[in-house]
């Protein structure tokens, strides 16, 4: 299934993408695509519905993050050896774990807003893992049993804040609008082998990143198992798993986003995103309608 949430920012309703490409409303059948709904039982109840019997939603509707009330937004850094090389950093022996603020989460086609005083805002296409069952010290063999599905994530990053301002990476990763997720949460059965998905990202129509989840240093199963050793993973948590090479910081000379740029990105089976880059506003801008 491809589950989604549609409607204005803060007023999203649950939905799904039907086989005929139409968006169907789920709000009369379920409350939301939240932690309780992401269990195997909750997903099975949605799967039992006839999508063609559900109301059709306007094709131009805004899409929000497909997961309501994300609990933890966890990120893995330097998970592609060629990206580590372009960053001038050694390949990690264990996953590099940091956090993105849940307040940075937006819909897949909402604007990305440059932070105040930003000079090095960068792009990163990434595979996201959506947790569907509690995981605590779970084995790698059973780790994917705790996963509800996967989603496309744009891990927008301000490199000066991240690298040159001291402390941890988090402050360059959690700025407002720095976490577009979606368009859909795609359940495991529809994704199949998560370690064989093509990835791409363009800026203003020029290809910047081309990669595949096959070259991740640490697999999705390893990441879920590893992170669960340090914190309990709960339904509704999201893990973004690293980016292939081609980020702006690694260009020669470096390239960074500016107001007016348009970023498009996608992962096989998980859909695509499109964001316009806008200048900082002291009042958080309304989401694109």
Which stretches of the chain drop beneath a pLDDT of 70? 284-289
92 located within any domain: yes
pTM of the model: 0.95
Here the tokens at position 191 are 């994704």
Cα dihedral 216→217→220→223 (10° resolution)? -150
Q: Does 29 fall in a domain?
A: no
CATH label of the domain that carries residue 81: 3.90.850.10
> Which of 281, 278, 280, 277 shows the shortest CA–CA distance to 262?
277
Segment (H or E) for 158: strand 157-158
DSSP at 248: G
Domain count, the chain: 1
pLDDT, residue 168, reads: 83
pLDDT, tens digit (0-9, with 9 covering 90-100), for 126-154: 999 999 999 999 999 999 999 999 999 99
Q: Looking at the domain assignment, is residue 46 inside a domain?
A: no
How many Cβ atoms sit within 10 Å of the Cβ of residue 287?
Answer: 18
CA distance 152 to 129: 9
15 in any annotated domain? no
- Residue 88 in tokens: 């001038």
Q: Is 90 part of a structural domain of the chain?
A: yes
Phi and psi, residue 213, nearest 5°: -65, -10
**Burial degree of 151 (CB within 10 A; 0-12, 13-18, 19+):** buried
Domain hosting residue 268, numbered range: 65-278
- Report the relative pairing of strands 23-25 and 56-57 from DSSP bridges: antiparallel
Rg of the chain on CA atoms, in Å? 18
Q: Return the pLDDT at 169.
A: 87
Per-residue pLDDT of 234-267, as tens digits, reads: 999 999 999 999 999 999 999 999 999 999 999 9
Domain annotation covers residue 269:
yes
The reply to whether 234 falls in a domain is yes
pLDDT of 84: 75
Helix or strand run (H / E) with residue 209 = strand 206-212
């Amino acid at each position: 299934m491809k589950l989604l949430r549609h409607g204005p920012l803060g007023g999203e309703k649950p939905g799904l993408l039907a086989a005929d490409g139409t968006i169907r409303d789920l709000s009369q059948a379920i409350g939301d695509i939240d932690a309780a709904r992401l269990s195997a039982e909750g997903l099975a109840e949605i799967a039992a519905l006839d999508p063609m019997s559900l109301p059709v939603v306007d094709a131009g509707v805004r899409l929000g993050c497909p997961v309501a009330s994300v609990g933890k937004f966890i990120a893995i850094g330097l998970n592609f050896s060629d990206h580590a090389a372009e960053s001038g950093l050694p390949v990690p022996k264990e996953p590099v774990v940091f956090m993105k603020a849940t307040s940075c989460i937006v819909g897949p086609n909402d604007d990305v807003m440059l932070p105040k005083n930003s000079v090095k805002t960068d792009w990163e296409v990434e595979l996201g893992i959506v947790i569907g069952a509690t995981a605590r010290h779970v084995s790698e063999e059973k780790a994917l049993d705790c996963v509800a599905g996967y989603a496309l994530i744009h891990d927008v990053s301000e490199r000066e804040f991240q690298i040159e301002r001291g402390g941890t990476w988090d402050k360059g990763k959690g700025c407002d609008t720095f976490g577009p997720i979606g368009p859909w949460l795609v359940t495991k059965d529809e994704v199949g082998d998560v370690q064989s998905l093509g990835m791409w990202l363009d800026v203003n129509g020029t290809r910047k990143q081309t990669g595949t989840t096959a070259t991740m240093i640490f697999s999705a199963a390893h990441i879920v198992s590893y992170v669960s050793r340090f914190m309990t993973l709960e339904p509704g948590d999201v893990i973004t798993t690293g980016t292939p090479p081609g980020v702006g910081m690694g260009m020669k000379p470096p390239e960074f986003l500016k107001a007016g740029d348009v970023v498009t990105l996608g992962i096989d089976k998980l859909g695509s995103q499109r964001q316009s880059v806008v200048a900082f506003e002291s009042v958080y801008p309304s989401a694109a309608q």
